[in-house]
Structures are given as C-alpha cells and as structure tokens.
Amino acid sequence: MTAEIAVYNKSGVALAADSAVTISQNESSKIYNGAEKLFALTKHHPVGIMVNGSGALCGVPWEMIIKEYRKHLGIKSFDRIDEYASDFFQFIEDSNLLIPSDFRENFLYQLYEEILEQAANLVESQSEYSEHIENLSTPPMELIISLFVKVFDAMISGMEKRDFLQNFSDEDFSDIMDDIPEILDLIINDYLEDYIQDGMMVTSDFKKKFEQLCCIATTKLIPTIQNAGVIFAGYGDKEFFPVIKSFNVQGFFHSKVRYSIQNSKCVSSPGESGIIPYAQEEEVASFITGTTPNIKNKFLDEIKNSISKIAGHISKELSNIGVEPDVQDQFHSDILKISVEECENIYNNVDSWVKREYTQPIVDMVQHLPKEEMANMAESLVNLSAFRRKVTNQQETVGGPIDVAIISKGDGFIWYKRKHYFQKELNLHYFNEIKQ
C-alpha cells in the first residue's frame, strides 16, 4: 500500500510519497521500503506524476513506463495537464514492445480469475453450502452450480450500476463476448476442478452468466487487487495555477487502456488551496477533520439502532395498553422513517460543523504557506500515516524514505527530498547527465 499527499495553493503544489511496497505471493507477503512512486514526467516542464496501488501495469513496472514516456516526450509540451494525461495513455496503448500483447492478455486472465474467486467465496458463504460442510458432506454439483448462478446474478446487478471506463460503452460488449469465451473456459476448468464431480460439467447458464459478468467487469470501474492510481500534477503552458488530475488504471482490453478519472483539482482562482490524500487516507482525514469517515458512519449507525430499539419498546408499551396492532405497525414505521431523515440531518449538520471548525482553518492556512512549508506539510502527513502503522499491530504498509517534490510555474519541478538506491560519490556521471 501507499500514502501520498498533494498540498496546493496559488504558488504551487507539493507532492510527497512514501517508499513502502508490498510483495504478495500465495498467502504470504513481504514489505520493502525502496519503491519509486514520485517522478518528474518531463525534464523540461513543470509536470510531475505519482503512482499508487499496483506497482506495475500488466506486469511492467510503472517506473519503466514513466521513464520511457519521458524519453518519448522529449522537449514537447502541452497547453493543459489534461493533454499530458491523454498523451501518456495514448503512448501506453501504442507501446506494443513495452507492454506486449501476451502481458495484456495475462492481465485479463488474472482479472477474470479474481472475479471467479470472489464469486466462489460468496458461494461458500451461502447457508445452503455451509449446511453441507457443517454436516461433513460434499455439496452436490447441481447445488454448487445453482449457487454460482445466483451469485453471478447478484454481482452483475451490482456492477451494472457502475460507471463505464473512459472510451468504453455498451458497444464494446459484442467484441468482448467474441474474445473471452476461450479464456473463461480455461479459468473455469482450472479453478473449479475441486468442485466438479463425476465428470459433470458446468451448465450453459453458468457460462453465460460468467461471460456477462466478465464483460461488464471489462468495461466498468470495479475494485480489484490490480488497480493502480496515477496522479498528474503541475502546469500546462497555458495554465498559471496548479492542476491535479488522478486516474484509476486497470490494465488493457486489447489495445485500449482501461482507466477512469478519479478526481480533478484546479486552482482556478488565486485563493483556492487544499490537501488531497491518496491511497491510505485515514490518518490524513483524521488530521484534517478531527475524525474519520468510519467513525462518523459508526456513530450514525449506532444512533439509528438506538432509535429503532426505542421505537420497538414504545410499540411494546402501546400493545400493553391495548392499542391496535395496525396502529402499532404504522407508528413503528413512521418512527423509523423520521429517524432516517433526522440521522441524515445530524450527519450533514455535523459534517458542516467539522468543515467549519476543523477543515477550513487548515485549508485557509495552506492558502498562505510558502512552497517549502507546503513540502514540509506533505511530508509530515505521510509520516503521520507511517507512524500510526509503526506503533500499532497493523502491517507497516506505509514507510521508508519519503520523496518530496515542489512544482511551481516559475521554477518547474524541484526535488525537495529524494532517495537514491546508490551512492552519489560513486555515480557522478548520473548527476552530470541530469545537468546536461
């Protein structure tokens, strides 16, 4: 995992990223503190890029992709950060040598395999399946297949509501349906080998639903272990205040990059400023708001549960004094409806109060910070995330040296702090090349 921060105001943007990377294999994992996550996108213009989540795109390290793009870009520039992002993704799509087709297809295989694994976990959580396991009996194949179809329907219903990835639409469904059946047959045979009994095969309904599910997953934004965040920050030639754009990248379908816009920030007026956390955001949210979304949601749930219990007790007392059951039910329904509305009001009121009393004073101060203080702030917020994991029983998925850069219109991309995996005095040629 990762902690990354962008702090921005009218004079520039400071970016900070930790160095921790988690290497997972089977059920074990190991954390190293030497990953590169923050880069200058170009040596000639004020644009930076950060990556988080998956450290590679279809198995190719982001560091390699970004540095190859930097060579490709050369001294060329664009008017807007949007155009840098578009050109970057176009470069990735066209880089058949850098990201070969078999790498892209293998990534899709892993995606569909992950979807089937999620479905299998949901199947095993179904009561009909659990009853057989508890009685030390093997569930019949017919039951397993029917549970898979049931789970597929539920997953399809949830995924259909999600937004399409950039440059994908319903029109892509037919192309995907033509290409994936062979891949899915391999996945089904490999993954369901332990389920298949006495030579029985999966039904056509199972295959059809699984194909439909994978087709939707290919075209829409879904959370997977292979997701990568890519953040562009800085200035185009015609932009005089910093712009930050982040994207969620999920591999390829043939030559099309599967990505979506995550969020966009632009200091469109001289007074705008802010702090944007990426990846592991809990500690930063706690610093900025005085609490976390999880705590606020837990508090709200407890209020709803308490009101529901109170309504139940009142209904019981009404029953004791002879109030008709339908009147009791109507009363209980009205109370629950009112409680939901009031809880939403409470949440919104508290949220407004938090923004006014906690968040806004910090943002107002960021507005006036000089560039080096923004860099110190960004570094401190990453350190805050790392420190919490260091003193708790959580894995230290944030840590290691912190890279910090400042991007301004006048000075360009400036390293404020930067780690190297080699000794400077032994590699003077590297720094001489940078100066040229």
Q: Where are the domains of the chain?
A: 293-360
Q: What percent of the chain has pLDDT over 90?
A: 35
Contact by Cβ (8 Å): 377, 364: no
Q: Length of the chain in residues, anyone?
A: 436
Mean pLDDT of the chain: 85
d(CA 89, CA 209): 32
Query: Looking at the predicted structure, is the pLDDT value of residue 435 above 80?
Result: no
Confidence of residue 257 (pLDDT cuts 50, 70, 90): very high
Which uninterrupted H or E stretch holds 429?
helix 428-435
Confidence of residue 89 (pLDDT cuts 50, 70, 90): very high
Confidence of residue 196 (pLDDT cuts 50, 70, 90): low
Confidence of residue 358 (pLDDT cuts 50, 70, 90): confident
Give the model's pLDDT for residue 195.
58
Confidence of residue 235 (pLDDT cuts 50, 70, 90): very high
| Average pLDDT of the residues in 55-71 | 93
Question: Could you read off the pLDDT of 390-405 as tens digits, one per residue?
Answer: 777 777 677 789 999 9
Phi, psi of 108 (to 5 degrees): -60, -40
List Cβ neighbours of 40 (8 Å cut-off, separation of 6 or more): 47, 48, 49, 70, 405, 413
Contact by Cβ (8 Å): 14, 378: yes
Helix, strand or coil, per DSSP, at residue 339: helix
Sign of the dihedral through C-alpha 383, 387, 388, 394: positive
d(CA 197, CA 190): 14
Query: Looking at the predicted structure, is the pLDDT value of residue 436 above 50?
Result: no
Question: Could you read off the pLDDT of 305-348 as tens digits, one per residue?
Answer: 887 777 777 777 777 777 777 777 777 777 777 877 888 888 88
Identify which has the larger pLDDT, 4 or 24: 4
How many CA atoms lie less than 13 Å away from 370 in the CB half-sphere? 1
| Average pLDDT of the residues in 291-309 | 80
d(CA 380, CA 362): 14
Query: Looking at the predicted structure, is the pLDDT value of residue 268 above 70?
Result: no
Amino acid at 104: R
Give the model's pLDDT for residue 75.
95
Query: Looking at the predicted structure, is the pLDDT value of residue 193 above 70?
Result: no
Give the model's pLDDT for residue 26.
60
| Average pLDDT of the residues in 76-83 | 96
Confidence of residue 244 (pLDDT cuts 50, 70, 90): very high
Give the model's pLDDT for residue 416.
95
Q: List C-alpha distances in Å: 142 to 198, 200, 205, 212, 415.
A: 12, 9, 12, 21, 61
Query: Looking at the predicted structure, is the pLDDT value of residue 22 above 80?
Result: no
DSSP state of 357: I
Give the tokens for residue 270: 């001289």
Give the model's pLDDT for residue 249.
93
| Average pLDDT of the residues in 172-188 | 84
DSSP state of 36: -
d(CA 262, CA 185): 33
